Amino acid sequence: MEEFNGNEKPVELDSVFQCKPRRRAVDVRQCLLDYLDANAFTVEKSACYRCPVGADYRKQYANS
């Protein structure tokens, strides 16, 4: 698993990281899908709603 530190190689959709809110390994693709669903449908009880951990990975993916 990769550990995000902000200045590494570009993050790919299949990059896997440890999702702390969900307590499991998640790839960036699934993180993006879950985040979009949680925010589009305003599912505030979802672990992905305003998730700071996934936000770091999504930001790095967007910048790659």
Give the model confidence (pLDDT) of 42-57 as tens digits: 988 888 888 888 888 8
What was the pLDDT predicted at 11?
Answer: 83
Q: Which amino acid is at 28?
A: V
Name the band, by pLDDT with cuts 50, 70 and 90, for residue 16: very high
Residues 6+ apart with CB under 8 A from 51: 21, 35
Whole-angstrom Cα distance, residue 57 to residue 30?
12
* DSSP state, residue 12: P
Extract long-range pairs of 30-36: CB within 8 Å, 24+ residues apart.
Answer: 31/57, 31/58, 32/58, 32/61
- The pLDDT, as a whole number, for residue 34 is 93
Give domain limits for the chain. Answer: 16-63
